[in-house]
Structure 1
Amino acid sequence: MDPNARKLFVLDTNVLLHEPLAVYSFKEHDVVVPMTVLEELDQIKDRKRDVSRDARVAIRTLENLLGGATPEEIVAGVPIEARDNQPDVSGSLAIFPDHQIHSPGQSLPGDHNDNLIINAALHLQQTLAPRQVVLVTKDINMRLKAKGAGMELVEDYRTDQLIDDIRFLTTGFRQFEGNFWDKLGECNTEMVGRHTHHKLPRSVLADEPLFTNQYLIDEDSDFCARVAKIDDETVDLIDFGRERLMHLDAWGIRPRNIYQGMALQALLDPDIDMVVLTGPAGCGKTLLAMAAALETVVERNQYEKVIVTRNTPEIAESIGFLPGTEEEKMAPWLAAITDTLEVLHKHDENPTGSMNYIMEKANVQFKSVNFMRGRSIQNSFVILDECQNLTASQIKTIITRMGEGSKLVCSGNLAQIDSNYLTAVTSGLTYIVERFKDFEGSANVFLNGVQRSRLAEFAEERL
């Protein structure tokens, strides 16, 4: 390839923190890491946060690629060896000594690391013209500064994004206008156990994106079904019906709308190993998950215990100063779960006594995400709450802990991300929704509509 046709990508520190193996993502193009980025990684690698692990992985990746090269080769660029899952990588990796450049006429003040990285990109843009030099950063303000300073090409790191806009995220169901059956000619219907199955020609729904365990509903009839199997010729649907779903009961909780009905059906189905619940605040994610957990553990004896965990911001520094056992330390973070238990037992003669009895009967355990690595969780109903603040690798850690006979429920609201390093399209919750949409052992439901109160509903719509 013509050297001038190969782009040169200058990486900011936050790119390597977001994706430590990002240097492999630029295919035939070349990658430059300024010396200032290495210094920032060195400062971050010893912090007591999850981001420090990413910094160490990024440093080890650079060491593996550059460790055997001479200083001259590192500055000129060392070829990046292709990997099994990325065979089309053929560019080079270089370390640029940005602290040695000095061009006061075209540079920003060198009193800030962001400015030093921008200056390095500007210097490379000037000296390597007409070759395209691209500054890659996830910092919006830094992109604006670079543009204002004269950088022609500035981009966000989007290689790991499965969707471009959160509006395109799979909802887990498909709603048809009018009556679903009016769209069909003939179908093959048969009883399989307790369920009615419809086999339809795939051509009838050729224009519809279909996934395994996706729910199908319409506007004008009682129709509600779930996709059981898909092939090139047929679609196998399990017919539930709206009325049946609306009369499901879990620990005294019944659905208030069809979206909650679909979610509760997935939560109570022993053949589904993972359920992902998304939706606005107050749509019933935690309530339905906890009600299904108690129903399946206490009443149906399908699982032995309930494990509740969630992301805990700054947990590595603050959990040690909270009194008590791990469960007691986690209590402030999991107040939403105890609030839900109070709702489920508010009409009991002795609500506090009922809660304590049920927590012991269902063996409800509160665990920190930090202590999940290395475990194998068997025969448990696991609720991962508020997982919009987890990265894809953190959620992978939890999912790979699930052993035989366990069910995992991941819930979160992508509008309430608190992490400085995540957006709605890069959240681990978005990853699992998109990655698992074709997996026969998982289901995803977007709970449309706020059921908490009319005040919460008005606030969700208008604020």
Structure 2
Amino acid sequence: MEASGPTRHSYYVLDTNVLIHDPNAVLNFEEHHVIIPMTVLEELDKLKSGKTSTAADCRQAIRQIDHTLADSPPDLVEQGVPIQRGKLGNIGTLAILMDKAPIPSHCLPNDINDNKIINQLCQLQQRHPDNRIVLVSKDINMRLKARACGIDAEDYQTDKLLDDISLLARGYHEIEGSFWDGVTKVETQQRMGRTMHQVELNAPIPGLHINDFIIDGQGFVGWVRSREGGRLMLQDLHQEPLLHQEAWGLRPRDVFQSLAMLALLDPDIHLVNLTGAAGSGKTILALAAAIEQTMVSKTYRRIIATRSTQGLDEDIGFLPGTEAEKMEPWLGAITDNLEALHMDDECTHGSVDYILDRVPLQFKSLNYIRGRSFQQSFIIIDESQNLTPHQIKTIITRAGAGSKVVCLGNLAQIDTPYLNATSSGLTYLTECFKDFPHGVHIHLQGVPRSILAEYAETHL
């Protein structure tokens, strides 16, 4: 690659895991120059075969690179092909980095692919000392090795909407004392049996969004149905009926579970995100609401349960049986919670078998969800903290007419190697949908599973 003119350019070199994390990553560096090492293309080629989500992402990344390079001649591919950005025209370039020069003595042994890429960047930096060369990788260890060799390195930031997970919305705002002390004007009216308050506040509540909840210290619970500056339209949720909701015999244990159940049972809410520590009730609430609305109210025709877990992409191919039978070991949390819902029955095992026989509950692998459309379905995505933003978009877009999607996850238990709490697809989804009028996010409190679980969560 040759630098043009006296301007100091930034060249962003993408690692393989970035293109798997976001197959369209080459388009997200604005006016800068993007470089893909030949080693990365070879890794994509090795991973592209099969029905796994990783293989599908590799194929999509390869197609995007091919579309951008089109039929450019080899010398232009190496120098940099202008990236077409619609009405913005050609901004930035995409190039393939060839490994031609001898390896500098101060770089790493050329025995593994990560080292090969870093060595190529050392060569590139020597050829263009006036330009900034940046390795973009989701692999922390590779970034450390690059910095040790004098190469700038950073994480892929495009879909990271938060720098600190403590800033993630909880879905509710707790106010000490009385909420009404901060209200300057209120108009109350009844709408279809609901008490609605149109209020004006002395000062806006920081971070307040549509469908957030307000909980004060005197027992008031309000649901924000619309917001315009300091004026809010609140639905008054009286605590007594709120805490006495019931779904398939399950009652919420605290106000936060009550808000989650309210959203799960509301047919006008199409997306529910439930986060919280292990044992906070995410799965059992979602399952109870799903069975209630398929067996009793008939709001949905079927329940679809899926999850992301390490090893699922590979291991499902080796487990015996049908897709549902293969998925069953991975969705033990669903059947465990079915047993919990019927633990007071005379024969728990018989009740669970009856439910599994009568309820249209389907276990689906993420690998087989792509390209499908699910109508009038209650879709439960368990362990969604392990999904990338691209993967979670792929799943959410499968929801057809009359469907509800429920994402469950604990951001403290991420098992995917190149994800953390701020780059998780669950965090990305929560931030992107926080003003969606048909979506609710609730962070559940406490660990009601057991005294032992609560102690372990806080002390281990």
TM-score (norm 2): 0.93
Which aligned runs of 4 or more in structure 1 are off by greater than 6 angstroms?
A: none
Going from structure 1 to structure 2, the CA distance change for 1:436 and 1:226 (only over 3 Å counts) comes to same
Amino acid at match of 1:57: Q
Alignment partners' CA distance in 2, 1:326 and 1:214: 38
The CA deviation at 1:113 is 1.6
The CA deviation at 1:156 is 1.3
Once the two structures are superposed, what CA deviation does each residue of 1:134-179 show, in whole Å capped at 9, x if it has no partner? 222221111111111222x221111121111222111111111221
Q: Is the 1:9–1:30 contact (alpha carbons within 8 Å) kept by the matching residues of 2?
A: yes
SS at structure 1 position matched to 2:44: helix
Specify which of 60, 63, 70 is matched with residue 63 of structure 2.
Answer: 60
Going from structure 1 to structure 2, the CA distance change for 1:206 and 1:5 (only over 3 Å counts) comes to farther
What is residue 93 of structure 2 aligned with on the other side? 92
Amino acid at match of 2:211: N
Structure 2 stretches of 5 or more lacking a match?
Answer: none
What is residue 227 of structure 2 aligned with on the other side? 230
What is residue 377 of structure 1 aligned with on the other side? 374
Specify which of 332, 348, 358 is matched with residue 351 of structure 1.
Answer: 348
The CA deviation at 1:82 is 1.3
Q: Is the 1:24–1:89 contact (alpha carbons within 8 Å) kept by the matching residues of 2?
A: no
Alignment partners' CA distance in 1, 2:91 and 2:401: 42
Specify which of 34, 37, 58 is matched with residue 34 of structure 1.
Answer: 37
Going from structure 1 to structure 2, the CA distance change for 1:250 and 1:44 (only over 3 Å counts) comes to same
Going from structure 1 to structure 2, the CA distance change for 1:245 and 1:422 (only over 3 Å counts) comes to same
1:7 aligns with 2:34: no
Aligned residue pairs, count:
457
What is residue 188 of structure 1 aligned with on the other side? 187
RMSD: 2.1
Q: Is the 2:184–2:199 contact (alpha carbons within 8 Å) kept by the matching residues of 1?
A: no
Q: Is the 2:283–2:382 contact (alpha carbons within 8 Å) kept by the matching residues of 1?
A: yes
Going from structure 1 to structure 2, the CA distance change for 1:199 and 1:379 (only over 3 Å counts) comes to same
Specify which of 292, 300, 304 is matched with residue 303 of structure 1.
Answer: 300
SS at structure 2 position matched to 1:15: helix
Specify which of 52, 76, 79 is matched with residue 76 of structure 1.
Answer: 79
Amino acid at match of 2:15: D
Alignment partners' CA distance in 1, 2:457 and 2:418: 24
Q: Is the 2:309–2:415 contact (alpha carbons within 8 Å) kept by the matching residues of 1?
A: no
Going from structure 1 to structure 2, the CA distance change for 1:230 and 1:358 (only over 3 Å counts) comes to same
1:333 aligns with 2:336: no
The CA deviation at 1:312 is 4.8
1:216 aligns with 2:219: no
Structure 1 stretches of 5 or more lacking a match?
Answer: none
TM-score (norm 1): 0.93
Amino acid at match of 2:210: T
Q: Is the 2:125–2:131 contact (alpha carbons within 8 Å) kept by the matching residues of 1?
A: yes
Going from structure 1 to structure 2, the CA distance change for 1:61 and 1:381 (only over 3 Å counts) comes to closer
What is residue 113 of structure 1 aligned with on the other side? 113
Once the two structures are superposed, what CA deviation does each residue of 1:190-235 show, in whole Å capped at 9, x if it has no partner? 111121111112x5352422211111112x2111111111224621
The CA deviation at 1:260 is 0.7
What is residue 44 of structure 1 aligned with on the other side? 47
Specify which of 413, 419, 427 is matched with residue 410 of structure 2.
Answer: 413
Alignment partners' CA distance in 1, 2:333 and 2:38: 45
SS at structure 2 position matched to 1:187: strand
Amino acid at match of 2:382: D
Q: Is the 1:28–1:88 contact (alpha carbons within 8 Å) kept by the matching residues of 2?
A: no
What is residue 276 of structure 2 aligned with on the other side? 279
Going from structure 1 to structure 2, the CA distance change for 1:270 and 1:104 (only over 3 Å counts) comes to closer
Once the two structures are superposed, what CA deviation does each residue of 1:6-57 show, in whole Å capped at 9, x if it has no partner? 2122222222222222222221121222222222222222255322222222
The CA deviation at 1:251 is 1.9
Q: Is the 2:277–2:445 contact (alpha carbons within 8 Å) kept by the matching residues of 1?
A: yes
1:135 aligns with 2:135: yes
Percent identical residues: 50
The CA deviation at 1:410 is 1.2
